[in-house]
C-alpha cells in the first residue's frame, strides 16, 4: 500500500514542536497520511513501549488473520512497512505472548528475530527484535496467545442471542501487543488494512472502513476486508465478530448489535446525527468518513471505546430514555480529542480524556440543553471534590500531567479535572476565543501526538493575550500542580438546588422526595450520591419501595443503589448484585461492587468470594485484573 517517504528530518524531528503550528496542511482531501514529527523530548518518551522509533518505525500494518472460535485463537500474518534510518539494521516491536512462527522480508527470505525477556507485570510484554538488514517490509507469521489480554471470546451463553459465539478486542492502553505484532505506542501512528476470515454466519467489524461485501470462501467461511487510510495510534485498531445486525441512523452513521438488541440500541443512539452536527459546528469537520457504533454484549469492560469509525459500546448504557447518551457524545468527541490529536504518552492521558469530557459536555449542551449539561458537569465536579478529599489535595497523582509513575486515581483527574480545566479557560477568555483556540489545536495537530508541554506552549502562543490574562488563567498550575486551582469555574449551584434540598429533607426527617418520578437521571444520581451513607434495612426497604430502585432500567442508578445497599449489609440486595455481576462485565460497575463487599468484613467477604468464583471467567482481562486486586488475588 502507501509507502511513506519522508526526509529523516521528520523522522527525527525534535521535541515540543510548537513552531509547527499553522504550518501543517489543514486539508483532508488527500488520503495520504501525513507523517507526524515524533516528539522526542523526555516528556514524550513512552516508557511502555520497546520501540525505538527514532531508528526504525512502523508506518503501515497489513493483517491477514483467521478467527478460530473453537480454539479461541487468532493467527495469520502481519506485514509491516517500515520507515528507518539508512543505517538501521534492526527494528524493535512490542509483543505480549505472541507466538511467532517466522519473520521474512517481502521476498520471503527469513529474517532473524529474538523475543526478549517479558516484564512480569503491567502488560508491557517483551521486545520483539527483528534483524531486517536493508529490508523495509517485514512479514510476521504468528498467532495470538490463547489468553491474549486484548481479546475476549464469549460463549454463546454470554450473548443476548445465546446461539453464536462472539469476539471483541480492547486495545487501550497497551493491550493490542497481545494480538498484533507492531510498535504499540500512542505516538507512533500507523495506517493499516486487514483481511479477516470468520465462520458463517458471523459478521466482522473493525475500526476501519469495510471494503465491499464479504467474500464467500466456499468452506463455510467468509473473508472481510478493512482499510484505515489515516495514520492512527495502534491502540485504536479493534475488531468485533458475532451474530450482529446493522441499522442505519443517518447518511453517515449507523449501529451494529445482536438482532435482539438492535431495535433498543438504534432507538437509544437516535441522536447520533445531531451530535455529529453539533460537534462539527463546534470544532470542525468530522474527518473519518462514517461514524458507526457497535453495541457489544455486557461483558465489554468499558462504557465505551472510541475506535475510529466504529465506537464500541456497552449495552448497559441503554436506559430507554437516552439519559446515558453522554457516553455517545464522549466517544464521538474522541474523534477529535484522542483520535486526531493523541496523547504521546499515557501519563498525559488527560489530553485525550479531559479534553473529550469537556467536548462531550458541549455536545450534550447543544443536543440536550444547558440544564442537562450543567447537571452532568456538576456530577463531574462532585467527583473531583470527593476524590481530592479522599487522596489529599497535594497528592502528586492529582496533577493532570503524570510521569506515569503514580497510581492512577480513578476518573476524577484525567477526566473531570481535565474537563474543568478546559471549562475554566473557556470562562476566563470567553467561549468565542476558547472555541477558536480548541478548533485550531485540533486542526494544527491533526494526526499528531501531543504532550502537556505542547498544549501549554500552544495556549501561550495562540490563546493568551496578556501577562495579566496569563496570571488569571493559571495554566501551569492546572497542568502540573496537584489539587484544584483557585480559579476553577465551579458548576452553577442552581443545577441541583431542588435535589440538594430534597437530600437535606430526607436526611433530617426521612421524607422520600415525591418529585422523584419527574427527576432527570442526573438528579436521581445526585440524590443517591448524597443521602446519608449509613442506612438501616428498614430505611433501604422504604427507599426501594417508593423509588423502585431495584426495578430501575437505568444501570447507573442500579449501580448506586446496589453500592448503597451492600455497604449497609442489606440482604435483599445480594441476589440482585449476584445477578448483575454475573451478567455485566463493565469494570466501572463490577470493581466497586466487589470492593464494597470486601469492605464489609465477615458479612461481605464470603459473598464477594462466592460470587467471584462464579463470575471471574466471564470477565475481560481488564475487569479481572481490577477485581483480582480488590480481592487480593495475585495476578
With CB under 5 to 8 Å by kind, the binding choice for 173 among ligand BES, Zn ion, none is ligand BES
The residue (of 327 and 595) whose beta carbon lies closer to Zn ion is 327
φ, ψ for residue 214, nearest 5 deg: -60, 150
Q: What's the CA angle centered on 158, arms 588 and 593, to 5 degrees?
A: 25
With CB under 5 to 8 Å by kind, the binding choice for 588 among Zn ion, ligand BES, none is ligand BES
The residue (of 95 and 342) whose beta carbon lies closer to Zn ion is 342
Cα dihedral 418, 422, 425, 427, rounded to 10, equals -120
CB of 619 to ligand BES, least distance (A): 15
CB of 414 to Zn ion, least distance (A): 9
With CB under 5 to 8 Å by kind, the binding choice for 419 among Zn ion, ligand BES, none is none
Indicate the helix (H) or strand (E) that contains 95: strand 90-95
The span from the CA of 10 to the CA of 137, in Å, is 20
The residue (of 244 and 333) whose beta carbon lies closer to Zn ion is 333
The residue (of 73 and 171) whose beta carbon lies closer to Zn ion is 171
The residue (of 353 and 458) whose beta carbon lies closer to ligand BES is 353
CB of 338 to ligand BES, least distance (A): 7
CB of 172 to Zn ion, least distance (A): 9
The residue (of 128 and 414) whose beta carbon lies closer to Zn ion is 414
The residue (of 58 and 328) whose beta carbon lies closer to Zn ion is 328
* C-alpha atoms less than 13 angstroms from C-alpha of 272 in its C-beta half-sphere: 28
**Residue written as grid cell 495475585:** 634
From residue 622, give the alpha-carbon distance in Å to each of 85, 312, 412: 37, 15, 19
With CB under 5 to 8 Å by kind, the binding choice for 142 among ligand BES, Zn ion, none is none
CB of 2 to ligand BES, least distance (A): 27
The span from the CA of 204 to the CA of 214, in Å, is 9
CB of 381 to ligand BES, least distance (A): 15
With CB under 5 to 8 Å by kind, the binding choice for 292 among ligand BES, Zn ion, none is none
The span from the CA of 292 to the CA of 152, in Å, is 21
Q: Which three cell numbers stand for residue 630?
A: 480488590
The residue (of 37 and 303) whose beta carbon lies closer to ligand BES is 303
For 207-316, strand residue ranges (E) read: 209-210, 215-216, 221-232, 239-242, 245-250, 253-257, 291-295, 304-305, 310-313
Cα dihedral 53, 57, 62, 65, rounded to 10, equals -50
The residue sitting closest to ligand BES, measured at its beta carbon, is 303
The span from the CA of 569 to the CA of 563, in Å, is 10
CB of 305 to Zn ion, least distance (A): 8
Residues for the chain: how many in total? 635
The residue (of 353 and 365) whose beta carbon lies closer to Zn ion is 353
CB of 380 to ligand BES, least distance (A): 9
Pairing of β 239-242 and β 137-143: unpaired
Q: Which three cell numbers stand for residue 202?
A: 458471523
With CB under 5 to 8 Å by kind, the binding choice for 172 among ligand BES, Zn ion, none is ligand BES
With CB under 5 to 8 Å by kind, the binding choice for 326 among ligand BES, Zn ion, none is ligand BES
Find out whether 223 and 266 touch, Cβ atoms under 8 Å.
Answer: no
Find out whether 577 and 595 touch, Cβ atoms under 8 Å.
Answer: no
The residue (of 588 and 591) whose beta carbon lies closer to ligand BES is 588
Which among 226, 180, 189, 209 is positioned nearest to 33, based on CA atoms?
Answer: 189
With CB under 5 to 8 Å by kind, the binding choice for 198 among Zn ion, ligand BES, none is none
Contacts 24+ apart (CB under 8 A), 372-375: 372/520, 372/522, 374/491, 374/492, 374/495, 375/495, 375/496, 375/520, 375/522, 375/523, 375/526
Q: Which three cell numbers stand for residue 533?
A: 451513607
* Interface residue list for Zn ion (CB under 5 A): 353, 356
The residue (of 415 and 478) whose beta carbon lies closer to ligand BES is 415
Q: What number of helices (H) and strands (E) belong to the chain?
A: 19, 22
With CB under 5 to 8 Å by kind, the binding choice for 271 among Zn ion, ligand BES, none is none
The residue (of 331 and 366) whose beta carbon lies closer to ligand BES is 331
With CB under 5 to 8 Å by kind, the binding choice for 227 among Zn ion, ligand BES, none is none
3-state secondary structure labels for all residues of 442-492: HHHCCCEEECHHHHHHHHHHHCCCCHHHHHHHCHHHHHHCCCCCCCCCCCC
Residues 6+ apart with CB under 8 A from 322: 268, 270, 271
The residue sitting closest to Zn ion, measured at its beta carbon, is 353
Q: What's the CA angle centered on 230, arms 177 and 228, to 5 degrees?
A: 65
The residue (of 363 and 528) whose beta carbon lies closer to Zn ion is 363
* Interface residue list for ligand BES (CB under 6 A): 172-173, 302-306, 326-327, 330-331, 334, 353, 415, 588
Find out whether 507 and 513 touch, Cβ atoms under 8 Å.
Answer: no
The span from the CA of 168 to the CA of 170, in Å, is 7
**Is residue 105 helix, strand or coil?**
strand
The residue (of 258 and 353) whose beta carbon lies closer to Zn ion is 353
Amino acid at each position: 500500500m502507501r509507502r511513506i517517504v519522508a526526509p529523516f528530518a521528520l523522522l527525527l524531528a525534535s521535541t515540543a514542536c510548537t513552531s509547527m503550528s499553522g504550518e501543517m496542511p489543514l486539508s483532508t482531501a488527500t488520503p495520504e497520511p501525513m507523517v507526524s514529527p515524533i516528539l522526542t523530548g523526555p516528556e514524550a518518551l513512552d516508557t511502555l513501549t520497546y520501540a525505538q522509533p527514532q531508528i526504525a518505525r512502523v508506518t503501515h500494518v497489513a493483517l491477514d488473520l483467521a478467527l478460530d472460535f473453537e480454539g479461541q485463537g487468532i493467527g495469520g500474518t502481519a506485514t509491516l512497512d517500515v520507515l528507518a534510518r539508512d543505517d538501521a539494521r534492526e527494528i524493535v516491536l512490542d509483543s505480549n505472548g505472541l507466538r511467532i512462527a517466522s519473520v521474512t522480508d517481502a521476498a520471503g527470505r527469513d529474517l532473524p528475530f529474538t523475543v526478549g525477556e517479558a516484564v512480569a507485570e503491567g502488560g508491557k510484554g517483551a521486545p520483539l527484535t527483528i534483524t531486517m538488514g536493508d529490508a523495509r517490509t517485514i512479514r510476521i507469521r504468528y498467532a495470538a496467545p490463547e489468553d491474549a489480554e486484548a481479546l475476549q471470546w464469549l460463549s454463546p451463553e454470554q450473548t443476548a442471542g445465546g446461539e453464536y459465539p462472539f469476539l471483541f478486542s480492547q486495545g487501550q492502553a497497551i493491550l493490542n501487543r497481545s494480538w498484533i505484532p507492531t510498535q504499540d505506542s500512542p505516538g507512533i501512528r500507523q495506517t493499516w488494512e486487514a483481511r479477516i476470515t470468520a465462520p458463517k454466519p458471523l459478521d466482522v467489524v473493525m475500526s476501519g472502513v469495510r471494503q465491499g461485501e464479504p467474500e464467500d470462501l466456499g468452506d463455510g467461511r467468509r473473508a472481510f476486508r478493512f482499510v484505515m487510510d489515516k495514520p492512527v495510534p495502534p491502540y485504536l485498531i479493534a475488531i468485533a465478530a458475532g451474530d450482529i445486525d446493522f441499522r442505519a441512523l443517518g447518511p453517515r452513521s449507523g449501529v451494529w448489535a445482536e438482532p435482539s438488541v438492535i431495535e433498543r440500541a438504534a432507538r437509544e443512539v437516535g441522536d447520533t446525527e445531531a451530535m455529529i452536527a453539533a460537534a462539527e459546528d463546534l470544532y470542525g469537520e468530522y474527518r473519518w468518513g462514517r461514524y458507526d457504533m457497535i453495541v457489544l454484549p455486557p461483558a465489554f469492560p468499558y462504557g465505551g471505546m472510541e475506535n475510529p469509525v466504529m465506537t464500541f459500546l456497552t449495552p448497559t448504557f441503554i436506559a430507554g430514555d437516552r439519559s446515558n447518551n453522554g457516553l455517545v457524545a464522549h466517544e464521538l468527541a474522541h474523534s477529535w480529542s484522542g483520535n486526531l490529536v493523541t496523547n504521546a504518552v499515557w501519563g498525559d492521558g488527560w489530553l485525550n480524556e479531559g479534553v473529550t469530557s469537556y467536548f462531550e459536555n458541549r455536545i450534550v449542551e447543544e443536543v440536550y440543553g444547558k440544564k442537562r449539561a450543567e447537571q452532568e458537569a456538576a456530577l463531574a465536579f462532585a467527583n473531583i471534590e470527593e476524590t481530592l478529599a479522599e487522596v489529599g489535595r497535594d497528592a502528586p497523582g492529582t496533577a493532570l500531567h503524570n510521569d506515569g509513575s503514580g497510581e492512577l486515581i480513578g476518573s476524577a483527574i484525567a477526566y473531570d479535572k481535565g474537563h474543568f480545566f478546559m471549562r475554566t479557560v473557556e470562562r476566563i477568555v470567553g467561549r468565542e476565543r476558547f472555541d477558536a483556540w480548541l478548533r485550531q489545536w485540533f486542526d494544527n495537530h491533526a494526526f499528531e501526538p501531543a504532550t502537556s508541554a505542547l498544549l501549554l506552549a500552544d495556549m501561550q502562543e495562540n490563546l493568551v493575550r496578556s501577562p495579566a490574562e496569563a496570571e488569571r488563567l493559571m495554566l501551569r498550575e492546572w497542568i502540573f500542580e496537584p489539587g484544584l486551582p483557585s480559579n476553577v469555574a465551579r458548576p452553577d449551584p442552581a443545577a441541583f438546588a431542588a435535589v440538594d434540598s430534597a437530600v437535606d429533607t430526607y436526611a433530617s426527617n426521612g421524607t422520600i422526595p415525591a418529585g422523584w418520578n419527574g427527576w432527570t437521571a442526573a438528579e436521581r444520581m445526585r440524590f443517591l450520591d448524597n443521602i446519608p451513607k449509613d442506612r438501616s434495612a428498614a430505611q433501604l426497604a422504604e427507599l426501594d419501595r417508593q423509588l423502585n430502585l431495584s426495578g430501575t432500567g437505568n444501570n447507573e442508578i442500579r449501580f448506586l443503589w446496589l453500592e448503597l445497599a451492600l455497604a449497609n449489609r442489606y440482604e435483599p440486595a445480594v441476589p440482585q448484585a449476584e445477578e448483575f455481576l454475573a451478567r455485566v462485565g463493565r469494570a466501572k460497575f463490577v470493581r466497586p461492587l466487589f470492593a464494597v463487599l470486601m469492605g464489609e468484613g465477615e458479612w461481605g467477604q464470603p459473598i464477594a468470594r462466592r460470587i467471584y468464583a462464579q463470575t471471574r471467567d466471564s470477565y475481560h482481562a481488564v475487569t479481572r485484573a481490577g477485581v483480582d486486586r480488590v480481592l487480593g488475588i495475585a495476578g
